[in-house]
Structure formats: structure tokens, C-alpha cells
Structure 1
Amino acid sequence: MGSAPALLKGFLDRVLLPGFAFKYQQGEKYPQPLLVGKTAHLLLTMDTPPWYFRWIYRAPGLHQISRTTLAFCGVKPLKSLMLGPVISSTLPQRQHWLKQARQLAQRV
């Protein structure tokens, strides 16, 4: 529905905790990010064409994860790979997407 799936959001809420991902400091307006120097590749699957998600919807789920979650903790998103529409994809298309995902993971 344009944002992160509930299971992913719940996972991030349980993993990116104060003391691990960020630290509150007395007298400071914003928490200190503790994962500075870490990077991430974002892979989004969707049933919306990626161009429509990016240009019409303005990629809300991508912004939510990259800016308000990862960047808050100091993680720098490097590359985003948007795959879709999955619902009408063919087997060769899904195999191509898996190949793209593998290549992205090997760049680390």
C-alpha cells in the first residue's frame, strides 16, 4: 500500500533500538545515530509499475525506509532496486530480477 509491509516495520522496530541504532543524549534535540558508516541496498517488490511508484506516488515506501528509518540511525542507502509489477510478471522476468538482486548483493 505504498509503505513498508507490517512485518518489515515490526522487525525494524525490534532491531533498530536505542543503544544499538541510536542514542538519546541529555540536552540534545536529536538522538545520535550509532550506525554511521554502515550502508544498505534497498530492494522493493511491488505490483505497481516502478515508474508509476516513483513518479506518480513519489516512492513513499522508499523514502520511509531510507530517510526516516535508516538515515535516522546513520545508515546510508546506496542503491534502490524497484521490481514490479510482480503480479503480472513472467518466470523469465522474475529470474532476471533475481539475477539483478544477486549482482547488487555482490557489490558489497
Structure 2
Amino acid sequence: MSNWILSKNKADALSNGIFLIALGLLFFFNAWWPGIILAIWALLAVRQYFTGRYYDLFLTTLILLVLFFSVLFRIDLNVLTPILFIIGGIYIVFREFFYGDDKNENKEA
């Protein structure tokens, strides 16, 4: 695991604030689709950056920005979009299975 820039609580609070700002901009400009993709990306990217999860940040950015630009420019990605989400899901499952810390484990002395 990489070193954290901020504590998890501060990173969560900061990313939630960024998400609320993004939602406010979506209300102001009335640009819900595909703008909500950027709001979700901002929420996840800020949280992942400040908790030092750079590989997650890269994968999140790749998946959500490809999805955003495919919707924005009306590019038909009927095959690529599901593949991106499947790759992201497989990455998360394997990362948590092999490298995740289970904080609820009972440690015997």
C-alpha cells in the first residue's frame, strides 16, 4: 500500500465536498448527462489520490473518462464499455482478495 497523503477521514470529507461542488455545477448548467460521470470521477479520483491508491486512480480515470468521451462524442462503444467495467471489477476483486487488509479479523496472540 502506498503512503497516504491525508487520513482516510480527511480524504473522504474532501472528496465528498468536491462531489457536492460538481453536483452544484450540474444543477447550475443543467448538464446531467454525461456530466454526472465527471462528478463521480472527481469523487473517486480525489479520494484515491489522497489515500495513495494510484493504480486505482489510473484505472478509475481510464474507465470513466473513456465512458464520458464516448457519450459526449456519441462514439459507439458497445463492446469496449462493458469490457472496461469488467476489467475494473476484476481488478477490484483481485486487489481486495490478494492485497486487502481485513480489519475485522480476530487476531489471536
On whether the aligned pair clears a TM of 0.5, the verdict is no
Structure with more helix by fraction:
2
The higher-RCO structure (CA 8 Å, 6+ apart) is: 1
Q: When the two structures are superposed, what TM-score results if normalisation uses the length of structure 1?
A: 0.35
